[in-house]
Amino acid sequence: MIYYSDYLELDKVLSAQHPESDKAGQPAHDEMLFIITHQTFELWFKQVLFEMRSVIALFHRDYVPEADVFLALSRLRRTNRIMEHLAEQFTLIETMTPGDFMEFRAFLNPASGFQSVQWRVLERTLGLREERRVLRAYTDALAEQHRAELDAATAGTTLFDAIERWLGAMPFMESGDFTFWQAYRSAVAAMFEHDRDEVRTLAAAEGHDPSEALAQIDANEAGFDAIFSEPQYTDLQSRGLRRMSRNASLAALFISAYRHEPLLQAPYQVLDAIIELDRLVSLWRYRHTMMVSRMIGMRVGTGGSSGHDYLMQTTVRQRIFDDLTSLSSFLVPSAVVPALPADIARRLQFVNEARG
C-alpha cells in the first residue's frame, strides 16, 4: 500500500527549512523564499544529472543502436525544458528586493556565492574543463568531503567525450571512391567559383571593378579551410579554438548536410539539442549572475574593478560545445550539397522503404 506522503518522503523534504534569521531571533520573512528556491534548484539539478548520466551511458558504447539515439534525444529535450524552467525560476527569487535580502544576508556569512556541489558535478559531467573555469575559487570553497565527492562523481566519461566518440564512429562517410569531406569541399569550391563567374559577368556588363567583391569571396572560401585543412584544424586545436576531433566535427557536418535522410534525422536533432543545452546552461549562469549583481550590488571599488564584469566574463567564456555551435559556419544550401552514393543512401533508409 503506497501512500502519497510516504512515497515522496515529505517528512524529510518538508522539515528541512530552518531560517538562520529565526535562529538569531530576528526573523526575516523572505529567508524562507531564499531557502526553498535553492532547495528546488538542487532537486532539479539531481534530475538533470540523472538524465545526463543516462544519455552518456546511451552514447558511450562501441555501437549505438538507432532506437537509443531517439531515446537519448527525448531525454536531452526533457533536460532542456528543465533548464528553461530553472532559468525562469530566478524570476521568483527576484520578487525579493535587495533591501529584503539585506535583512538576513549577514546571517548567511560566509556562505556567500554559490557553493552547489551538484552544479559543479553537472558542469564537469557535461565536459567543462576545470582549467577553463574563471572562478576556480568556487571549487576551492567546497568542504573537503564535497571536493572528494565532486572528483569521484566526475571521474567517468563526460557528455562531451561520449558525443565525440559517437560522432567519431559514424559510418556512411566513405564508400568506394566517395569520401564525404572531399566531395563536400569540391561542391563548396564549385559554389564559390560560380559566385566569382557571376561577379565577373556583372562587373563586365556594368563596367566596374570586381576586385573587392572577388576578394570577399576568396575570404569566405578561405574560412572553410578551418575545417577542410587538417593542418589548420590542428593549429586551431593547439590554440584551444577547437576541442573536438576533426573526424567527429566532419561527422557532425555530414549529419547536418544530409539531415533529411531518415537515419540522420534523430542524430541532427541530437546535435541541435546539445547546442541548446549548452545555451541553457549559459543562460542559467547569466540569470544567476544578474540576480547576484542585483542583490549585492556591483560595488565599484577604488580600484575600479567590478565583480559583475568578472562574473559575466565567466558566463561568456564557459561554453562547452562551441565546436558544434560553430558548425553552422560551414553549412551550404541543400542544392549545393553533393549527392550521396546509392549504397550509402540506401543504408540511411528504413527496411520497408529501401529499394535495390
Q: Are 43 and 9 in contact (CB under 8 A)?
A: no
Q: What residues contact 75, with CB distance under 8 A and at least 6 apart?
A: 51, 54, 55, 58
With CB under 8 A as the contact rule, the residue among 261, 267, 274, 318 that binds its own copies is: 261
Query: Long-range CB contacts (< 8 A, 24+ apart) of 82-87?
Result: 82/44, 82/47, 82/48, 82/51, 83/48, 83/277, 83/280, 83/281, 83/283, 83/284, 84/280, 85/44, 86/41, 86/44, 86/284, 87/280, 87/283, 87/284, 87/287
Site for its own copies contains 39 (CB under 8 A)? yes
Nearest approach in angstroms of CB 200 to its own copies is: 18
Nearest approach in angstroms of CB 270 to its own copies is: 12
Q: Which region among 123-131, 150-158, 161-169, 269-277 touches its own copies (by CB under 8 A)?
A: 269-277
Residue 100: enclosing H or E segment and its boundaries?
helix 98-105
Site for its own copies contains 44 (CB under 8 A)? yes
Site for its own copies contains 236 (CB under 8 A)? yes
With CB under 8 A as the contact rule, the residue among 188, 276, 277, 284 that binds its own copies is: 276
CA–CA dist 286, 313 (Å, integer) = 10
User: Which residues in 135-164 contact its own copies (CB under 8 A)?
Assistant: 143, 146
Site for its own copies contains 8 (CB under 8 A)? yes
Residue 174: enclosing H or E segment and its boundaries?
strand 174-175
Q: Which region among 25-33, 123-131, 176-184, 196-204 touches its own copies (by CB under 8 A)?
A: 25-33
Site for its own copies contains 91 (CB under 8 A)? yes
Residues that bind its own copies (rule: CB under 8 A) add up to a total of: 134
Matching residue, cell 539539478: 45
Site for its own copies contains 263 (CB under 8 A)? yes
- 41-50 burial by CB neighbour count: b if 16+ within 10 A, else e? beebbeebbe
Closer residue to its own copies in complex, CB, 14/202 = 14
Closer residue to its own copies in complex, CB, 31/164 = 31
Nearest approach in angstroms of CB 90 to its own copies is: 10
User: Which residues in 291-350 contact its own copies (CB under 8 A)?
Assistant: 293-302, 304, 309, 312-313, 316, 322, 325-335, 346-350
Q: Which region among 156-164, 175-183, 201-209, 282-290 touches its own copies (by CB under 8 A)?
A: 282-290
Site for its own copies contains 1 (CB under 8 A)? yes
Site for its own copies contains 123 (CB under 8 A)? no
Q: Is 249 exposed, middle or buried (0-12, 13-18, 19+ CB in 10 A)?
A: buried
The three cell numbers of residue 187 are: 561542391
